Amino acid sequence: MAGDVMDNRGRGEARSAIPSIHPEGRKYALICFGLSLIAAVLAWETIAWPLAFLSLCILAFFRDPERVVPRGDNLLVSPADGTVTQIAEVEPPLELRGEDGGLGRAPVTRISIYLSLFDVHINRSPCAGTIVAMNYMPGKFVNAELDKASDENERQHLLIMRGDGVVVGMTQIAGLVSRRIVPFVKPGDIVAAGQRIGLIRFGSRVDLYLPAGTSPQVLMGQRVIAGETVLGRLGETVTLEGVQQ
């Protein structure tokens, strides 16, 4: 079974090219680089070199590579780069239940993806559809890997309605270092599968809530690629089993 999982995680064909840098990161990199130049002119080498290195780290963090989105109307692709840290049956958060067009109260499968500081932090839409709701919740900044982060941390909830009426839920969660969630979309926007919809600065987590009748197509500990790895197939209820290798 593990071989089947590896086949669906995406090969990153478009990542061989030098990735662009998201504008959110350019300004911080320019500030650090400018300060490093000033420090160098003043012969403050102990400050200049660390600032120059920091500017390179910022550029790496805000890299924005292109992705090749798999074809298939029933596919749900990963909204983030990172590692699958939890697959669990949970009740959707209150903000995603909705009185009309939400996920409801019935338990659904939640796939949690942890993004380290070294992962790409641009988040992408798991499917094509319309953004029907967005709810920003201020909160704490505990370790994003902890289960309680879903309820306590700063977070942004999104509901995406597909053309067939199926609703997919997604939550961007800030982590220990991350202090801001930056959305690229708003309610009413129509998005494509794999389209960039936001970013979380400096370490975070993204939760994807699969629609009823959809089983996860990934394993715990698996590395996933935003916009490429298939996390679920609508209407497919066969759960993959195996050990990630």
Q: For 149-164, give the DSSP string.
A: HHHHB-EEEEEEE-TT
26 and 55 part of one domain: yes
204 is catalytic: yes
What is the three-class DSSP state of 243?
Answer: coil
Does any domain span residue 202?
yes
What is the three-class DSSP state of 173?
Answer: strand
- Cβ atoms within 10 Å, residue 140: 12
Catalytic residue among 55, 112, 178, 204: 204
Question: Rounded to whole angstroms, how far apart are CA atoms 148 and 233?
Answer: 28
113 and 141 part of one domain: yes
108 and 228 part of one domain: yes
Please state the domain count of the chain: 2
**Which runs of consecutive H residues, i.e. helices, occur in the chain?**
2-7, 23-41, 45-61, 94-97, 149-152
124 and 169 part of one domain: yes
- Cβ atoms within 10 Å, residue 163: 11
Which of 45, 64, 83 is the last residue before a domain boundary? 64
Tokens of 217: 């197509």
Question: Rounded to whole angstroms, how far apart are CA atoms 140 and 175?
Answer: 9
Q: What pLDDT shows up at residue 3?
A: 41
Does any domain span residue 3?
no
55 and 99 part of one domain: no
140 and 39 part of one domain: no
Q: What pLDDT shows up at residue 243?
A: 47
Please, which residues have CB within 8 angstroms of residue 53's CB and are 6 or more apart in sequence? none
39 and 121 part of one domain: no
Does any domain span residue 5?
no
222 and 117 part of one domain: yes
Sequence letter at residue 241: E
Question: Rounded to whole angstroms, how far apart are CA atoms 228 and 8?
Answer: 8
Tokens of 162: 């597909």
Question: Rounded to whole angstroms, how far apart are CA atoms 10 and 201?
Answer: 24
Which residue's structure tokens are 């977070």?
155
136 and 209 part of one domain: yes
What is the three-class DSSP state of 206?
Answer: strand
What is the domain-level CATH number for residue 181?
2.70.70.10
Q: What pLDDT shows up at residue 203?
A: 63
What is the three-class DSSP state of 55?
Answer: helix
pLDDT, averaged per 10 consecutive residues of the chain (245 residues), comes to: 43 56 75 84 83 80 87 94 94 84 89 90 95 87 60 86 94 75 94 94 86 91 96 77 51
Does any domain span residue 41?
yes
223 and 114 part of one domain: yes
Does any domain span residue 229?
yes
Does any domain span residue 105?
yes
170 and 54 part of one domain: no
Question: Rounded to whole angstroms, how far apart are CA atoms 82 and 87?
Answer: 14
Question: Could you read off the pLDDT of 199-234 as tens digits, one per residue?
Answer: 887 668 999 999 988 989 999 999 999 999 999 999
Give the closest residue to 186 by CA, choosing from 113, 122, 136: 136
Does any domain span residue 207?
yes
What is the three-class DSSP state of 224?
Answer: strand
Quote the pTM value: 0.79
189 and 105 part of one domain: yes
Domain region containing 46: 14-64
- Sign of the CA dihedral running 218, 221, 227, 229: negative
Does any domain span residue 203?
yes
Sequence letter at residue 9: R
